């Protein structure tokens, strides 16, 4: 029986990866942060299920070497997945030092712990890299060979993590891999990322619980997949004969505005778009503005376009995305409507 340790188990990907590994009969350990309010709602169904025996949680933090060392030496994992991060690009401009500490040095802390404990031959390591590292893209579409041009403190920190992972692989022979994952979403996506902000916001407007949705740059383009598909790729990367780096993407690109239009269609809502850029607005049938833009949600430097080339993953991992944007939107809208309807009834 293999043992896995997931940093970032309480996040979107951590919860799906834990489900996948438990299905594959792994013993799964996860690291959660101390928080003054509950932060385990994405994994409570696993923790509370009496039939799930091999699931364990530990308190720890990527900024705290002692907790990392004590957990890794106790768990002695076969596989470590580092999914923990301050993962919000816009927030990284407000908290650049904290973001660098966690997203860059946090990775080094885990890798050096593997080396320090002499686990180089035992413990494989996966680093959650990102398409944000391509930033101001130097090539379209982006592959493993495309040069990085990070455009935020978050992306710069992730570039450090990418290279330190490669460096520990080459220097100490650790089975250390980088996934370079393009955007992936789900009903479990954090509410401040644009896709979930859109599905939740428009569902609330549909149910009369909110009047307006205020967004930033509607013209940004992303390659959006489903987190369930993408965690499968993370596991596959760790099962190869040799450690490597892989772009994981759908190979299709849509704008934020297109994502909104798919959501509106699914909700059977019609709007008229008027204006351009930051002045663009969406009007409902009664002529009321229900979508508008604000400078508040623009970033100091934007990543305008991301589009991945997942050819290496297809060839070597036999992986490809199975869920397209329409199915993704459908699932997110249905779960948000379901959640809001239950929540609204409870309140009454």
Is the torsion defined by CA of 292, 297, 302, 308 positive or negative?
Answer: negative
What CA–CA distance (Å, rounded) separates 317 from 249?
A: 13
φ and ψ at residue 33, rounded to 5 degrees = -90, 150
φ and ψ at residue 198, rounded to 5 degrees = -70, -50
The minimum distance between CB 193 and ligand GDD, in angstroms, equals 4
Strand order in the sheet with 272-274: 213-215, 289-293, 281-283, 272-274
User: Which residue number, 128 or 220, has a Cβ lying nearer to ligand NAP?
Assistant: 128
Which of the residues 12 through 51 are near ligand GDD (CB under 6 A)? none
| Helices 325-347 + 256-266 axis angle, to 10 | 60
x/- contact string, 112-141, with ligand GDD (CB under 6 A)? Answer: ------------------xxx---------
Strand partners, 58: 31
User: Which residue number, 77 or 106, has a Cβ lying nearer to ligand GDD?
Assistant: 106
User: Which residue number, 39 or 294, has a Cβ lying nearer to ligand GDD?
Assistant: 294
The minimum distance between CB 328 and ligand NAP, in angstroms, equals 12
Identified binder of ligand GDD from the candidate list 222, 226, 228, 232, rule CB under 6 A: 222
- Write down the number of H helices and E strands in the chain: 12, 15
Identified binder of ligand GDD from the candidate list 161, 217, 234, 253, rule CB under 6 A: 217
Which of the residues 170 through 209 are near ligand GDD (CB under 6 A)? 182-183, 192-194, 197
Which of the residues 240 through 299 are near ligand GDD (CB under 6 A)? 256, 297, 299
What CA–CA distance (Å, rounded) separates 196 from 172?
A: 41
Residue positions annotated with a catalytic role: 130, 132, 154
For binding to ligand GDD (CB under 6 A), which residues are involved? 87, 89-90, 130-132, 182-183, 192-194, 197, 215-217, 220, 222, 256, 297, 299, 302-303, 306
């Amino acid at each position: 029986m293999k043992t896995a340790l997931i940093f970032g188990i309480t996040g979107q990907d951590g919860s799906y990866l834990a489900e996948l590994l438990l299905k594959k009969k792994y013993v799964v350990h996860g690291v959660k942060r101390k928080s003054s309010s509950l932060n385990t709602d994405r994994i409570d169904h696993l923790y509370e299920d009496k039939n799930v025996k091999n699931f364990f949680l530990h308190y720890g933090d990527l900024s705290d070497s002692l907790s990392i060392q004590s957990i890794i030496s106790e768990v002695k994992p076969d596989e470590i997945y580092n999914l923990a991060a301050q993962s919000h690009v816009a927030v990284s401009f407000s908290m650049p030092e904290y973001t660098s500490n966690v997203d860059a040095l946090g990775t080094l802390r885990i890798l050096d712990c593997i080396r320090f404990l002499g686990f180089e031959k035992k413990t494989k390591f996966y680093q959650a890299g990102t398409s944000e590292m391509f930033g101001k893209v130097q090539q379209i579409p982006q592959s493993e060979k495309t040069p990085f041009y990070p455009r935020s403190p978050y992306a710069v920190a992730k570039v450090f993590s990418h290279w330190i992972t490669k460096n520990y692989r080459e220097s100490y022979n650790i089975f250390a891999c980088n996934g370079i994952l393009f955007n992936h979403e789900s009903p479990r996506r954090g509410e401040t990322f644009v896709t979930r902000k859109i599905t939740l916001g428009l569902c609330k407007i549909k149910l009369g619980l909110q009047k307006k949705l205020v967004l930033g740059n509607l013209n940004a383009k992303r390659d959006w997949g489903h987190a369930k598909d993408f965690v499968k790729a993370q596991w596959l990367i760790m099962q190869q004969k040799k450690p490597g780096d892989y772009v994981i993407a759908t190979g299709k690109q849509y704008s934020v505005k297109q994502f909104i239009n798919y959501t509106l269609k699914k909700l059977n809502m019609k709007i008229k778009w008027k204006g351009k850029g930051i002045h663009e607005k969406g009007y409902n049938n009664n002529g009321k503005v229900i979508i508008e833009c604000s400078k508040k949600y623009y970033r100091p430097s934007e990543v305008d376009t991301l589009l991945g080339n997942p050819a290496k993953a297809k060839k070597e991992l036999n992986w490809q995305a199975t869920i397209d944007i329409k199915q993704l939107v459908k699932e997110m809208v249905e779960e948000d409507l379901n959640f809001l309807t239950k929540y609204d009834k409870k309140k009454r």
